[in-house]
Amino acid sequence: MFLIRTLHKWFGLILGLQFVLWTISGAMMALLDHHKVSAEHSVREPAALIVPADTLPLARVAEAVGGPILALRLKPLGDGFVYEAATPSGVKLVDATSGRPVAVDAARAGALAAAAFSGSEAVASVRKVDAADVETRKLPLPLWRVEFADAERTTLLLSAATGDVLERRNNSWRLWDVFWMIHIMDYTKRESFNHPLIITVAAGIAWLALSGLILLVQSFRRRDFAWVLDPVERLRGGPKARVRES
Amino acid sequence: MRLPALARTTHKWLALIIAVQAVFWTLSGLYMTAVHIDIIHGDHLVRTVEPRALSMAGLVEPATFAQSGAKSVRLETQLGKPVYVVDAIPGHMLFDARSGALLSPLDEDAARDRALFHYAGSGGIVKTELLEVVPGEIKGRPAPIWRVEFEGFWRPTLYISPQTGGLVAKRHDLWRIFDFVWMFHIMDYEERTDVNNILLRVATWMAVATSLTGAWLLLYSFRRRRRARKAAA
């Protein structure tokens, strides 16, 4: 027991700060409402559009794309339909009735985001993202970052290739993400929780918790529970119980 | 009560309540960090397929799906053949892109063929079943769904949609263990999804108090020895 107490103390001294950080970041993440953090209600369900009967035939699509097509999608984009062709050199968008190429430029990205946004606030800024940052990590680049003028600074991230809304961010997420960074100990990219540092510290902290649990056994004496045990024993008929105790 | 005694008493009483959960938190955390998330996701269970160029000649025109109430149409290759995956108002449908024949809902053989096509392991299929209610390990996915379990120590399982022919999910025991320890980590023992449940909120703030009183206690835990050494010197 003395050894375990010493180990508990020293593990606490060396790793204790991370344990404090884990409990605080964990408590904060449990406190921040996940529905708000994930901006669940920031994007509205799009109106169901039906594929137009005068959709361009495949031969014309192949011509417009002008190269091998690996997969093809006919999907709504804004008010109309487009063909989204996956090609070896990337995604190409073609208007589904005229056959003209469609580019997702700043104006179109802003309009698509405004149509998708469930709030009434205006677009505050539209910016192209070519290099991954904390907000756009793990998403395919390039993309358009469209920020709205609401209190939460809701931001929609749209693929510059397909025009799809790939991700939503807001101030709740930005705050949550700081605690997430602290929790997973990935202070630069905030994405991996499988690195040697966290595995090592987690093993040490697991021991800290386990040794603490073991120490509990010897940390409590009967007198710690006298406030509940004494009345119980008195109820059971006093003297006998007192004999057993000694 | 003197301060060291107060620190010790609060720390041990808080610990009495939270210690078992703290052990769960740290052990589940250790598992989740030690086993790489790509392995948990089962990326190694499926082959990466190099997509081949589609030949457009002789295919049914996408415009024909206007009458079936299509919201979007996808032309892709499944088992080497061109197919249309149609998201229509009544639901998803799968068509042969050459003949226009409706393929969905897929029968057992078609589901097995697709599972075997995706599976990267060497073992054969142990069991194929059509589930009318989705199991907890793929909750949120549409039912009915084909469940194809393969031979292997970790019980690798692929889920194939009878409506789209697509691979919906891949599961194995390392994922199932992850999901189980995640349940202990977030203390949602029913749905395993609610990270804001009241039990977790109370327990985490108690853990904050426990770790802070532990840190406070450290101030007194190392002093006596230093004094002893000074006395000896």
Domain match, A150 and A192 both: no
Selected for mutation to probe chain B from A23, A33, A38, A198 (highest B CB count within 10 Å) is: A23
What average pLDDT does range A217-224 have in this prediction? Answer: 86
What pLDDT score was predicted for residue B224? 52
Residue span of the structural domain in which A84 resides: 40-102
In a domain, A201, yes or no: yes
Query: Is pLDDT at B148 greater than 80 in this prediction?
Result: yes
What pLDDT score was predicted for residue B50? 86
**Are A210 and B222 inside 8 Å of each other by CB?**
no
Chain A to chain B, count of Cβ pairs less than 8 Å apart?
171
Selected for mutation to probe chain A from B24, B67, B71, B186 (highest A CB count within 10 Å) is: B71
What pLDDT score was predicted for residue A237? 79
Domain match, B166 and B55 both: yes
Domain match, A83 and A55 both: yes
Among A9-23, A227-241, B40-54, the range scoring the smallest mean pLDDT is: A227-241
**Are A51 and B63 inside 8 Å of each other by CB?**
yes
In a domain, B18, yes or no: yes
In a domain, B23, yes or no: yes
Domain match, B60 and B103 both: yes
Confidence of residue A244 (pLDDT cuts 50, 70, 90): low
In a domain, A45, yes or no: yes
How far is Cα A15 from Cα A11, in angstroms, rounded to an integer? 6
Q: Which of B15, B204, B221 sits opposite A26 (nearest CB)?
A: B204
Query: Is pLDDT at A245 greater than 70 in this prediction?
Result: no
Query: Is pLDDT at A215 greater than 50 in this prediction?
Result: yes
In a domain, B197, yes or no: yes
Domain match, B137 and B186 both: no
Domain match, A98 and A125 both: no
**Are B16 and A220 inside 8 Å of each other by CB?**
yes
Chain B contact for A219 (CB, 8 A cutoff): yes
Residue span of the structural domain in which B215 resides: 3-38+178-227
What average pLDDT does range B152-165 have in this prediction? Answer: 96
In a domain, A112, yes or no: no
In a domain, B133, yes or no: yes
Query: Is pLDDT at B130 greater than 60 in this prediction?
Result: yes
Query: Is pLDDT at A241 greater than 70 in this prediction?
Result: no
Q: A-chain residues within 8 Å CB-CB of B23?
A: 206, 209-210, 213
Give the distance from CA B56 to its chain's centroid: 37
Domain match, B26 and B83 both: no
**Alpha-carbon gap: B82 to the closest alpha carbon of chain A (Å):** 9
> B120 Cβ partners below 8 Å, 6+ apart?
B44, B45, B46, B47
Which CATH number is A96's domain given? 3.10.450
Mean pLDDT score across all residues of chain B: 92
Q: Are A224 and A20 in contact (CB under 8 A)?
A: no
Domain match, B49 and B151 both: yes
A19: its two tokens: 């344990």
One-letter identity of residue B191? E
Torsion of CA B153, B156, B157, B158, to 10 degrees: -160
Neighbouring CB atoms inside 10 A of B169's CB total 19
Domain match, B54 and B158 both: yes
How far is Cα A163 from Cα A151, in angstroms, rounded to an integer? 25
What are the helix and strand counts (H, E) for chain A?
A: 8, 7
Domain match, A162 and A185 both: no
- Report the share of chain A in percent with pLDDT over 70: 96
What pLDDT score was predicted for residue B233? 45
- Report the share of chain A in percent with pLDDT over 90: 77
Domain match, B59 and B96 both: yes
Domains in chain A: how many in total? Answer: 3
Query: Is pLDDT at B204 greater than 60 in this prediction?
Result: yes
> B42 Cβ partners below 8 Å, 6+ apart?
B156, B170, B171, B172, B175
One-letter identity of residue B99? S
What pLDDT score was predicted for residue B225? 52
In a domain, B55, yes or no: yes
Cα A7 to Cα A50, B9, B87, B223: the distances in Å are: 68, 20, 60, 16
User: pLDDT tens across A174-201, in order?
Assistant: 999 999 999 999 999 999 999 999 999 9
Cα B228 to Cα A157, B4, B105, B224, B225: the distances in Å are: 62, 18, 80, 6, 5
Place of tokens 């068509």: B95
Domain match, B13 and B67 both: no
Domain match, B95 and B163 both: yes
Domain match, A30 and A61 both: no
Domain match, B122 and B182 both: no
In a domain, B232, yes or no: no
In a domain, A59, yes or no: yes
**Alpha-carbon gap: A125 to the closest alpha carbon of chain B (Å):** 30
Q: Which of B65, B205, B212 sits opposite A51 (nearest CB)?
A: B65
Domain match, B102 and B195 both: no
In a domain, B82, yes or no: yes
Query: Is pLDDT at A146 greater than 50 in this prediction?
Result: yes
Domain match, B154 and B140 both: yes
Instruction: Report the half-sphere exposure of B175 (CA within 13 A, side-chain side).
Output: 19
Domains in chain B: how many in total? Answer: 2
**Are A54 and B26 inside 8 Å of each other by CB?**
no
Domain match, A129 and A151 both: yes
Confidence of residue A154 (pLDDT cuts 50, 70, 90): very high
What average pLDDT does range B59-80 have in this prediction? Answer: 93
Out of B170, B191, B210, pick the residue that ends a domain: B170
Query: Is pLDDT at A114 greater than 90 in this prediction?
Result: yes
Domain match, A160 and A130 both: yes
**Are A212 and B74 inside 8 Å of each other by CB?**
no
What pLDDT score was predicted for residue B149? 97
Highest average pLDDT, of A76-80, A143-147, B57-61, comes from A143-147
Interhelix angle A196-219/A2-31, nearest 10 degrees = 120
Interhelix angle B198-221/B3-34, nearest 10 degrees = 120
Selected for mutation to probe chain A from B24, B39, B56 (highest A CB count within 10 Å) is: B56
In a domain, B190, yes or no: yes
What pLDDT score was predicted for residue A246? 46
What single string gives the DSSP state of each residue in A28-93? Answer: HHHHS-HHHHTTTTSBPPPP-PPPPTTPPPHHHHHHHH-S--SEEEEEEETTEEEEEEEETTEEEE
For B122-146, letters b (16+ CB in 10 Å) and e give eeeeeebebeeebeeebeeeeeebb
